[in-house]
Every structure is written in structure tokens, then in C-alpha cells.
Structure 1
Amino acid sequence: MTNQNKACSKSYIAGVSFSIHPMSDQFIEIIKGALKEVDTSKVHMKTDDVTTTVRGKLVHVFDVTKAIFLHAAKTGEHVAFQATYSLGCPGDSQGEAFMAEDETLLNSSLVKDIKQSVASKFSLYPLGGGDYMDVIYAQIEAMKKHVSVSPTHYSTRLDGEAVAIFDGLENVFQATVEGGSSHTVMTVSISANSPSHKGDMKNG
């Protein structure tokens, strides 16, 4: 364990394991169509029979997953997204990651104007110490300027535009890392176009 900590203590590799579920008979076409529209050249991405894993710089991991979700959701079909984001060690390695030299986003400008109302819940787990609680509360407070924030059992609920929610989640995650957590994990559930959404906003 000591050697592993030394090997990854300075690693900035971020990763996410996610599943996206279009509630439609055309789910294969929706998923493949979303993937086709997203530039994944700055991350390592691998799909198996359970989930898709994306690894690389944090900004690119969020850029890719946000774009995949938005391109799937803009079809108007009910889409559910489940993800676990992680950065740090123990529990990570250098394998199967592509650390792009720059932080220029490849998908952000193409999805920033997609209007998509969503409901989301997230839970944040700083597993590596650090003075992080004040940081988390400050970031959640900042989210309230852009989305609706409410407490729920075991998580925090966010309602609003998908772009704003993804950006807020990335900011919370990054701030927690910078607050001193050597291993940060965040679980996220997002739903778009659900028949149960009240006042659901149509794509613009």
C-alpha cells in the first residue's frame, strides 16, 4: 500500500464510471447518436456490458459526460444518467488514461446552448482528509444562483438547466479536491424528460 500511495499521490487522473439509459425502443440509436456527436479525443473511454468508463483530466471528463448526456436528452426521450466520479488514491492507477496537454474543451461550446431541464441528485465523499466541509457548503450556496437546491435523504437535489447543473457539480468536485481531499468521490443521478417531472421544460 505504501508503494501505491507513492506512485499515485501526485496523480491528477480523474475518472467516471457511468450508465445512460434512454427509456425508448430506439435506445441503441440514441446512445450511438450521442456518442457520435461527442469528441472524446482528449480522454480514454472504454465501454463494457455494464458501464462506460472515461479517464483523463477532470475538465475533459466532465466535458465529455455532460455532452453525451445532453445529446441523448435533446432527443426528447426520457433519459436517466447514473455516474460515479473519482479523483485521487488509493484506488487509482496510471493505466488506461489520457492526460491531454491542455485544458481546451472540445464539446462545451457545442452544447452550452442546449436548453434541457433536469432533476438531479448528488452525494460527495471526500475520502482523503482536508478541510472541505466549508468549501462544499460554499459551492452549494453558489449553485443556488443558477439552479434550485434542496436537501434530500443521503444526497442533495438540484433542479434546473442541465448545463448549469453539470457545471455546478464540476465546481463542487474541483473545490473539494483543492480543499485538501486526496481522494474525492461523487455519485450523480440525473433524469431528463421524465413524465413525472412537474413543469418539465421542452428542448429549445
Structure 2
Amino acid sequence: MFSGAQISLYPMSDDFVDIILGALNALEPWRDRLRLDTDHLSTLMVGPPEVMFPAMRDLFCAAARTDVHTTMHATVSRGCPGEPDDPICQPVTGQKRDMRMADRIAASRAAVAHAVRTEQDIAAQLSLYPLGVGHHMDEIYGCIEFLKGSGVFDRSKNFCTALRGDAGPVFETLGQAFTSFGSETGHIAMDVTVSANSPSVA
């Protein structure tokens, strides 16, 4: 099943070119497990979600550690009927879709509890779109329940859920939301915005 993301990084600095190019170096350890293609708009990242989200974490943290206000936007998708299967996208771990919702939520929260710590504080917001699922709201409500007990839940907002905390648990939460909810074989999309070092945060 095809899975990937289009990612755009925005450092709020006159030195944005060096910050972006330097941050892209953080993807080097992941290149053997991902297909990466950068153009003037975004970086396409194709591979298993369990690898994509840690790679996104490292990319964003590399830019955020400059102490510049930095945001990143990602459109993440899997199972798109318009994309061919790609062997690089095979999941690293088994899916949880055959588990009851309560068990999926518990397993996802356990994964977040064991996430690596980066010592980089970030904020994020996400919207999950399980497409082509007859009872898609059940999956969305289950995901929201998971998010509220993830340990990085900030607040509910119109059309999205806000997260806040260390980048490790936050990106693990994003990954679990993407991989644990919605149809195992259906098309799922997720919209993500991440921010660090914002001057508007007291």
C-alpha cells in the first residue's frame, strides 16, 4: 500500500535557506528506508509510516534547534487509489485494525509513553480524514479519545486537535493517529501543522 507525505518547512528567518538545507541533512540516516524527492515547494517522503514520522521529527527538530520560529506543514496519505503499491511502503510492524477500538487506543497510548525524548518543545495540530469508510466517524471519535489521553493533548479546536509537548511523544502521537485509526486497506489522509519557538507563546 502506498504511503507518503508532502512536507514543507518554514523557518521565519532571513537565513531560511541555510536552515532548510541544514535540516534536510537530518534525513540522511533515513534515506535507505525512504524515497525522498525535494523540489522548490516541498519534500516528498515515501515509505512506511513507522519510518516517516520519526524522519519528519528529525527534520523539524533540526530546524527548530536554531531557536528560530519554525513551522512545518505536512499532508500525509496512505492507500490512495491513484497511487501504485510500492515495496518500500510495507509496514515495519503489524497493523492494529483487527483489535477492538479500546485495545487500539491503549496500544497507541503505550507507544507514545515509550517515545524517545528530544528536549525540543513543540506545538502541533492535526486533522484525520478516513476516506471511504462507512463508519468513519467511529474511527475519528476513537482517534480523538486516544489523543485526549496521549499525554500531549492541548485542546480541541474547530476542525482539528491541538497537541503540545516534547517533539518525540508529539510525533509518535501523530504517527499512532495515522496508523491506528481508519480502515486498514482504505484511503486515509492527515493534515499536520507543527510549530516551535513561536513568539506568540508566553
Task: Name the TM-score, length of structure 2 as normaliser.
Answer: 0.78
Are 1:112 and 2:101 an aligned pair? no
Unaligned runs of 5+ residues in structure 2 are 94-114
Seen in structure 2, the aligned counterparts of structure 1 residues 194 and 130 have a Cα distance that, compared at 3 Å, is same
Identity of aligned residues (%): 35
Aligned mates of 1:77, 1:48 — CA distance in 2: 23
Are 1:195 and 2:199 an aligned pair? yes
Are 1:173 and 2:184 an aligned pair? no
In the TM superposition, what is the alpha-carbon distance from 1:143 to its structure 2 partner? 3.1
Aligned mates of 1:180, 1:98 — CA distance in 2: 17
- Choose which of 11, 22, 32 in structure 2 pairs with 1:22: 11
Moved more, 78-87 or 130-139: 130-139
Are the counterparts in 1 of residues 143 and 181 from structure 2 also a CA contact under 8 Å?
no
> 1:20 is matched by which residue type in structure 2?
L
Are the counterparts in 2 of residues 143 and 149 from structure 1 also a CA contact under 8 Å?
no
Are 1:49 and 2:40 an aligned pair? yes
Are 1:151 and 2:142 an aligned pair? no
Aligned mates of 1:92, 1:121 — CA distance in 2: 26
In the TM superposition, what is the alpha-carbon distance from 1:137 to its structure 2 partner? 2.9
In the TM superposition, what is the alpha-carbon distance from 1:18 to its structure 2 partner? 1.0
Aligned mates of 1:144, 1:152 — CA distance in 2: 12
Seen in structure 2, the aligned counterparts of structure 1 residues 27 and 98 have a Cα distance that, compared at 3 Å, is farther
- Choose which of 142, 147, 171 in structure 2 pairs with 1:138: 142
Unaligned runs of 5+ residues in structure 1 are 1-11, 105-110, 199-204
Are the counterparts in 1 of residues 116 and 169 from structure 2 also a CA contact under 8 Å?
no
- Any idea what SS the aligned residue of 2:117 has? coil
The CA RMSD over aligned residues, in Å, is: 2.3
Larger relative helix fraction: 2
Aligned mates of 2:201, 2:116 — CA distance in 1: 22
User: How many residues are treated as equivalent by the alignment?
Assistant: 178
> 2:129 is matched by which residue type in structure 1?
Y
- Any idea what SS the aligned residue of 1:54 has? strand
Moved more, 68-77 or 132-141: 132-141
Are 1:35 and 2:24 an aligned pair? yes
In the TM superposition, what is the alpha-carbon distance from 1:62 to its structure 2 partner? 1.4
| Residue of structure 2 equivalent to 1:107 | none
Seen in structure 2, the aligned counterparts of structure 1 residues 151 and 102 have a Cα distance that, compared at 3 Å, is closer
For residues 96-111 of structure 1, the aligned pairs below 5 Å read 99=88, 103=92
